[in-house]
Amino acid sequence: MTSQVRVAVVGCGYWGKNLVRDFSELGALEAVVDANADTVAALQAKHGGRALTFEQAANDAAVDAMVIAVPAHLHYSLAKQALDSGKHVYVEKPLALELSQAEELVALAEKKDLRLMVGHLLQYHPAFIALKDFVGAGKLGRLSYVYSNRLSYGILRREEDVLWSFAPHDISMVLALAGESPDHVGAFAAPTLHPVIGDFTQVQMSFPSGLKSHIFVSWLHPFKEQRLVVVGERGAVVFEDSAKDPADKLKYYAHSVEWANGVPKALKAAEANGAGIALPYGDGNPLKNECTHFLESVANRTKPRTDGAEGLRVLSVLTRASSALKAQSAASSAVDTASKPRVAKAYPGVKIHESAYVDDGADIGQGTSIWHFSHILGQVSIGEKVSVGQNVVIGPKVTVGNNVKIQNNVSLYEGVTLEDGVFCGPSCVFTNVNNPRSEISRKHEFRTTLVKRGSTIGANATIVCGHTLGEYCFIGAGAVVARDVPAFALMAGVPAKRIGWMSHAGIKLGPDLVCTDSGRRYREVSKDVLEEITE
């Protein structure tokens, strides 16, 4: 019986009080340990248990196990003392802050034949257990990509960054699905409230099997999102723990990709009109399940699902991600700043990130921002209030008008002109020669491309050179434009075809050709000519 196992909960703050409650409800609470006497008294009155110091609990024969929910920097020392005292240990994530410390705890638990378990809560969520079983049964086929978002507003911490605070849960899930350790770990962080404590972090992982993964965590996100997406060759499963309706927490999307003449086409599943099929999963509160699992592991002398070895694997990824962030910070600090005063003097009123490069001979208007890792070549003219995103290359001999927005990973090559108010979505592509060969120079064959005022180009769209995109046209994501585009045209497909009309405000026009946002009215002059009615 698990109720025969008696535990002392050490640390009864924000999360520890929940552990006190659940172990009490499971009939296993022996003692409550916390430096705040008032907190202990309140919990005793509600849940029972004796008030003990840590040393008293570690040396009390009535205490079989110690549950540690204190700040992360204390995990190693308290877990070691508990193991040395012959107690089984459940420690909240992370297992420790140093790999060597975690390895020592794992070895000590093994030597003393004690259970050591890490609180990776979502491994005990019924929906994740069902997802893992679904993947393990091969129903998604070979996995290709897994991503996880853990986003919320607060709670802000100063003893650890958002990587160590949020990401252990997601790393634990990804490793459980992958069944292997990553051969590459990269990371990017954005400290905003403190010079070195990251408030936003993305971790990228690659695995020997070819699986790719990324994890995005933030405690400055305007709304809560806890979403794990698993993509395989037979569709995708989404575990959305932040969904309010239990039926929306775990869904299967039997989408597929069809290839024709080397061109991929996304096919949505017919089931539920492509909205996904709800997958069944068991009952139970994840934390209560986790506490029960620990008690059963101690009582039955079995290995916990998230044992010390599993905690060590998660810590290894955290450590590698932290090393990548330190390398990123060092590289940023090492950027040659000698030219920065020259840049600031040459471009007053222009914001140029220290990792960006601006060559001599570029003309940049006031109010323009040029972000991380972008490169502006010579003989380039950029207007006022332009936003140039990350990893953008412009030039040479490119003209960009005022109020243009160029998203990440866009290259504007020689011969491209963007008039005022153009929007270029992430990773959209411009060419400047029709039949490129690496071994043959065709610079004399460059063809010009004109994108007229107010046009929008969607993500991953390709604009073949030598064409004009008319005013306020709208190119759908992934489209390939291989001819001139009429003003106001809505284009989609490969090759792109006009499938409708768009207003100045970017609203698709209905049969009456009246913009529902602005009230502006239009008329078709001919099959491919639309004009605004101004009288």
Q: How far apart are CA 123 and CA 138, in angstroms?
A: 19
Residues 37 and 82 in one domain: yes
Among 358-362, 386-390, 472-476, 497-501, name the one with the lowest average pLDDT: 358-362
Tokens, residue 451 = 């994108």
* Pair 515, 492 in one domain: yes
Residue 415: phi and psi, rounded to 5, are 100, -5
Helices of type H across 181-333: 286-300, 308-333
Are the CB atoms for 321 and 164 separated by under 8 Å?
Answer: no
Question: How do residues 50-83 score in pLDDT, each as one tens digit?
Answer: 999 999 999 999 999 999 999 999 999 999 999 9
Ranking 71-80, 247-256, 308-317, 498-507 by mean pLDDT, the lowest is 247-256
CB 292 within 8 A of CB 302: no
Statement to judge: residues 272 and 388 lie in one domain: no
Its domain, for residue 528, covers 340-532
Sheet with 143-153: list strands edge to edge: 184-190, 200-206, 212-218, 143-153, 220-232, 235-240, 250-253, 277-278
Q: Are residues 78 and 179 in the same domain?
A: no
Q: What is the model's pLDDT at position 442?
A: 83
> Is the pLDDT at 458 greater than 50, yes or no?
yes
Q: What is the mean pLDDT of residues 506-515?
A: 95
Tracing tokens 């290259």 back to the chain, one arrives at: 411
Alpha helix positions (H), 59-190: 75-84, 99-112, 126-136, 162-178
Dump pLDDT digits (tens) for 291-344.
Answer: 999 999 999 999 999 999 999 999 999 999 988 888 776 665 554 444 444 454
Domain count, the chain: 3
Mean pLDDT of 244-256: 89
Give per-residue pLDDT as tens, 178-200: 999 999 999 888 777 766 566 88
- The per-residue pLDDT for 337 is 47
Residues 128, 110 share a domain: no
Whether the model pTM is above 0.75: no
User: Can you tell me the distance from the alpha carbon of 85 to that of 79, in angstroms, rounded to the nearest whole number?
Assistant: 10
Residue 144 in any domain: the answer is yes
In a domain, 479, yes or no: yes
At 430, which CATH number?
2.160.10.10
Residue 145: closest CA among 237, 276, 29, 241: 237
CATH of the domain at 88: 3.40.50.720
Query: Mean pLDDT across the stretch 479-494?
Result: 96
Same domain, 471 and 452: yes
Among 114, 133, 163, which residue terminates a domain?
114
Report d(CA 102, CA 313) in Å as an integer: 10
